[in-house]
């Protein structure tokens, strides 16, 4: 409990929120959405920052990109950069400083988002 989950929407290439795990993982066979695959391990979360989709932040936003240590040696203009940044996996670990930078950026006034 207490871990933070940073939401990156790959299809839109945006940071879309940060949540704190508020309960130990548990198993459930209950379907959450019609037609979904079964995701039996569940986490309860509380929002730290949860912008609406009009205020998601593009991953290549220069001001934020420069703050993230995960991207220090990643050239986003080269093909395959998403793999070099290790964001292609379902779950990957970000540093505390990267997570905090994303939180701070998502909390900025709407004029600074996409």
Half-sphere exposure of 107 (CA within 13 A, CB side): 11
pTM of the full structure: 0.81
Q: What is the pLDDT of residue 113?
A: 47
Query: What is the C-alpha separation between 61 and 83, in angstroms, rounded?
Result: 18
Greater confidence, 72 or 100? 100
DSSP 54: G
Residue 18 main-chain phi, psi, to 5 deg:
-140, 135
The percentage of the chain sitting over the pLDDT mark of 70, rounded to a whole number, equals 92
């Amino acid at each position: 409990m207490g871990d933070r989950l940073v939401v990156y929407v790959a299809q839109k290439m945006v940071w879309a929120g940060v949540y704190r795990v508020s309960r130990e993982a548990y198993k459930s066979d209950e379907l959450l959405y019609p037609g979904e695959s079964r995701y039996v391990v569940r986490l309860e979360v509380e929002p730290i920052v949860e912008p609406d989709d009009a205020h998601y932040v593009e991953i290549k936003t220069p001001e934020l990109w420069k703050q993230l240590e995960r991207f220090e040696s990643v050239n986003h203009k080269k093909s395959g950069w998403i793999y070099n940044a290790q964001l292609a996996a379902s779950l990957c670990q970000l540093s505390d400083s990267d997570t905090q930078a994303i939180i701070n950026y998502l909390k900025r006034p709407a004029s600074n988002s996409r």
